Amino acid sequence: MRTSRLSLALLTIVLAAACVQREEPAQPVDPSVSSEVLAIRLASLPADFKVAVNDSRGLELVPAEAKVGGRLVFTVGDEEPEVNLVAAVYRHQSQVEGMPGAEYKGGQELLTPHGKAFYSRGRFLAGTDLVEETVVVLKHPSFNRLLSISYRYPAAGDSSVRVQQLLEIVGELEGTAGAATAGSE
């Protein structure tokens, strides 16, 4: 009797498994993200992020986990004879210092696959929330324009993970042959 129940249970499981339709494996998703407006491409979107905006307004990413908070925004400036990265860092410093509760954390020169870049970081109050903003400025990979990548997120004791995420994005950055339009800066 026990053996027949076991056999019946096993037969039920085998029949149920046979009746389940096999799903075709999902087609691989291209992990790259391109912005025609900015004439840039991220060869691979890091798993920490998802696309929030990618249209005529530009390209914006947010953390894949909503509870983490933050927003990463790409902007491209106008065509210029010489892209002045140091001036861009000073502009960011001025913007931060003009905010309530401001604490400018400094800037640093970086060497990227696209040449020299700088990052600049500061904290300030946005309403009642203390936020931190880290900005990387570099020459656009395809044009003589300033490319700015701004990452604003809730301030914490240690921002090294956020800065590392931003630098990872810079490492995935490529220029495209599109005609970049000026972004708001």
CB 33, CB 41: distance < 8 Å? yes
Q: Does residue 5 have a pLDDT over 60? A: no
Percent of the chain at pLDDT exceeding 70: 79
Would you state the pLDDT for residue 178? 63
State the Cα–Cα distance between residues 110 and 18, nearest whole angstrom. Answer: 58
* Average of per-residue pLDDT across 29-48: 91
Domain 32-175 = CATH 3.40.50.300 = no
Tell me the residue ranges of DSSP E strands in the chain: 33-35, 40-42, 49-55, 58-63, 71-79, 103-112, 115-126, 129-139, 145-154, 173-175
Would you state the pLDDT for residue 31? 85
Would you state the pLDDT for residue 21? 52
Would you state the pLDDT for residue 138? 97
pLDDT in tens, 103-121: 999 999 999 999 999 999 9
Q: Does residue 18 have a pLDDT over 90? A: no
pTM reported for the whole predicted model: 0.80
pLDDT in tens, 118-162: 999 999 999 999 999 999 999 999 999 999 999 999 999 889 999
Q: Does residue 19 have a pLDDT over 90? A: no
Q: Does residue 20 have a pLDDT over 80? A: no
* Average of per-residue pLDDT across 33-50: 96
